[in-house]
Structure 1
Amino acid sequence: MKMSLIVAAASVLGLAPVLSPTSGAQADELRVLAGGSLRSILTELGPKFEQASGHKLAIHFDTTPNLIKAVTAGEPFDVGVVPIDVFYDPVAKTHFAPPVEFARVGFGVAVKAGARKPDISTPEAFKETLLAAKSITFLPASAAGSYILRLFERLGIEDAMRAKTVAQDQPTGIVPAVANGEAELAIFVNNVLIAPGVDIVGPLPAKYQQELVFPAALAVDTKQKDAAKAFVDFITSPTATVVVKAKGMTPGKS
């Protein structure tokens, strides 16, 4: 009976090809480490996976430096859906099985909803807009933030930007800071900027555009391997990619 109910739920959600629980299998709680900018996507996909599979998810969202710290300190987890920068750390990388690409996303600029949209259509206009802004907000201590800081250096405006930056410690603070007038501009990955209270001005000029990649991988020492694999299969399934695209990201390739 338990299996038939789960399979029925999977069928309703369009997940039958991905999730196929075995009869009598116990539900597992999966500990997931995830990039903070994936919050809106995984909080939507998570309940669908739980309903279809019977497993429970405990998702910890955090910045890239904190994720690296957690992994290298031996914090237990079953799955990581993290910025690729986590894999650049030689110690952190050893804690993951070979990854598949979950999604990727480019960078954009946003203003308060209804505000005038500045010109960022060319490299010159983008630089002028940044210099003219009274304040900007982003998350410096993140993979996306690291790229933005390098971009400011590349433009030769790092000192000017430092003086007007309203730094956030989590991605969830970026949109509210612009919506409530604390910052004039937000610059970050597009999926975070797709939210009520702000309007996206547009993507960065092609010369400065870059995509941030988010791999998904099992922990090498997970004791919930089947359930963890089912979760990764689900978030890379056709059903899940509909949500990924709606949230402003490009689904990855396994």
Structure 2
Amino acid sequence: MEGGGAAAAPDAAPEREPEPALGAGLALGAAAAGAPLGYLHVLWQREEPAGKIPARRLRRAARLHRRLGPTGKETHALKRLREAANSNDLDTVQQLLEDGTDPCAADDKGRTALHFASCNGNDHIVQLLLDHGADPNQRDGLGNTPLHLAACTNHVPVITTLLRGGARVDALDRAGRTPLHLAKSKLNILQEGLSHSLEAVRLEVKQIIQMLREYLERLGRHEQKEQLDDLCSRLQMTSTKEQVDEVTDLLASFTSLSLQMQKMEKR
């Protein structure tokens, strides 16, 4: 019987297999405390060969990873992404995003790659960042969203892209500017007619119309949006500077009227 007891010892070993589950639980606890073991657990989770991981689990792991802080290699990639966005390096931005670099990561002043691209007026990089999950309403250390920066630097196409990407229109109120204010100032410049070719003026007016359409769409002002659609159709049929100027004047009147309506609504 003693021999039977000795032989039973190896068979008992599998009884202790649940220990890794306990270790995983400790890893999760350590992760919440910010211990390095938690980060290793996140990496282990990502390497699971099983089928598609649920999006909810991926987002949870990403939030955990962000709390734990990036590795040295990742920190370098995050910095490169912001620098590439700031220097209008579209290829590098695209490569880093495809490699999984977090587009929402900010520097010590709260600025993300989207803040830099919006300030520079690079519509292509702005769209690329939004496509990879960049937050159009993320604020920097001064409270500025990418939309604030695009408005302050008069980048109309970027404002349109950000609005389409889910940027909150009321975020502009912090700086005291809305797309209507921006459109009015841009139209005043165009109406002065200083060395603008026909195509340049037509392009500017088209961009302003597109921006206002997105703005009014998000505000739910569908009737005014239809008026803009009519102006856009008239602009497409223009062939002379005079005809474009006529559309510009109509757009300026529309913008001024919309601003007056906005002021009355706030009273």
**Which bin holds the TM-score, normalised by the shorter protein?**
under 0.3
Which structure has the highest strand share of the two? 1
More helix by share: 2
Task: Answer 1 or 2: higher relative contact order, Cα 8 Å, separation at least 6.
Answer: 1
Between structure 1 and structure 2, the one with the greater Rg is 2
**TM-score if structure 2 supplies the norm length?**
0.23
Q: TM-score, normalised by structure 1?
A: 0.24
